[in-house]
Structure 1
């Protein structure tokens, strides 16, 4: 059996928890419907449409007729950046009760991301003028804002996914600790070695609280100009944290970058070549994200 066919067989039924399809003020290669249609090439079971700027649930409801009948399901959620009012329980309540499956704590307006911009990092220029402001989860006394607790309770009520967004590592640990105490069952941290500042030892503290560690194909795909390392780096992370606590997503959709399906095939194939068992690759692309998205 050719290697590409073997990889596609292992990846069949995958769930992408980190798809940046449009519409969006940042330039996107495809919209949510096109993402789902392309996902059918790998028998993609579902994808989670993420925007740093707005509640994607409303996009999906507006596209319902186009999405109905497609084999890949598309789900949405809300990121708590300044464009939705920051840590805004009312916006979270609306998103989740309209069918949202995920709440991302501050991403591009977190202190870690703002500092990243100051040090020379950044995203492509938006297609419209946008103001920027930092979104904090703590008050002047250093304690979590009351709104944080309300948001966590809404996540529990909906059985939704809590993402730590781009919060600094110490804030992630504090957030996951409180979330676990309040009954949040689904938690994830994205790209720990980009922006977040977490090593494998700290990530094991997160997984001890029930969280999963998400890595993205875009960070390890040789065809992505800003990849953070080769698949061997990803393989070490999987070995150190464990496939049972790991998720592989794409973080793709940006104009000029690969299609998620192609990136999954390249990175998944590289992991198999490095010796990752097929059952472990299925776990990190299918089983773990299916649980986090409450598909089963």
Structure 2
């Protein structure tokens, strides 16, 4: 559904609620996967909608340099740009050296393994496919775990957690499964990590409601991917399920991020428009929506309170 074809009654409310929004999960390009827009286009579209912050995510490379240069080139747009590193095979896996370098040059987030996570690979094999698909065939992933054969958090992971704690950046769960993530986040809290984010808990991760509650009790924010609720090939869940998940974690611990840039789905800002409209239709209060698309993410990424 395009912006042009939407003539629903909430247009003014949607536009107002997106002023100050922060997207912590934008899959713009260049990337190994086909993308609908590049980092520059994502920045321009966020600026046009009045967003306050945008965080680029790539599964294969550290995107901090792109964010720094683009913000310097377009300072008048008023959008703060961020990125981080995903600990997949391309970064050397759960690699303290890669994390140390990323934090030193300004990374705001470190994702545990995503495409290289053993959980991701096992689920992909179970479905008889690779997802998401890269434009060209790449080397097969080597499965990565943050825990050893006894279920104990590995020394390399502990070193990564110490670097994250010292840098006061966000630890994201990536595509670890729920049980493994709970162990890692518990260890992270003990080691002084203050910012934690669970990515799409009901997709790949396998979180039940009680798992979400436990992760919140540890101190995590719960991030739901807008792409799974708006029209497009990634849609998986109903509006009622989103409302339920918000109730499970609580508004103050829920963040809505686009996870968009995927071919066959809306562009990120359009995804935000659609999910805000969905929540308004579900009678979610405006203050709650603003918290979930703006204030909570702004606080987590280190911006001052969103206006």
- TM-score (normalised: structure 2): 0.92
Deviations 1:239-258 (A, max 9, x none): 22211111000000123321
Q: How much does 1:95 deviate? A: 0.8
Does 2:301 correspond to 1:293?
Answer: yes
Does 2:189 correspond to 1:180?
Answer: yes
Q: May I ask how many residue pairs the two structures share in their alignment?
A: 295
Q: How much does 1:125 deviate? A: 3.0
- Counterpart position of 1:149: 158
Decide whether the 8 Å contact of 2:68 with 2:81 is kept in 1: no
Does 2:49 correspond to 1:42?
Answer: yes
Between the aligned partners of 1:286 and 1:64, the Cα distance in structure 2 is 19
Matched residue of 2:297: which SS? helix
Does 2:145 correspond to 1:136?
Answer: yes
- Counterpart position of 2:259: 251
2:75 aligned to 68, 91, 98, which one? 68
Decide whether the 8 Å contact of 1:36 with 1:73 is kept in 2: no
Matched residue of 1:48: which SS? strand
Decide whether the 8 Å contact of 1:29 with 1:254 is kept in 2: yes
- Counterpart position of 2:283: 275
Q: How much does 1:140 deviate? A: 4.0
Alignment of 1:1-296 (within 5 A): 2-63=9-70, 65-120=72-127, 122-131=130-139, 132-221=141-230, 223-296=231-304
Q: Which runs of 5+ in 1 are unaligned?
A: none
Between the aligned partners of 2:68 and 2:233, the Cα distance in structure 1 is 34
Higher alpha-carbon deviation: 204-213 or 62-71: 62-71
- TM-score (normalised: structure 1): 0.95
Matched residue of 1:196: which SS? coil
Q: How much does 1:150 deviate? A: 1.2
Task: Give the CA RMSD over aligned residues.
Answer: 1.6
Deviations 1:235-280 (A, max 9, x none): 1111222111110000001233211111111111111111111111
Q: Which runs of 5+ in 2 are unaligned?
A: 1-7
Matched residue of 2:283: which SS? coil
Matched residue of 1:135: which SS? coil
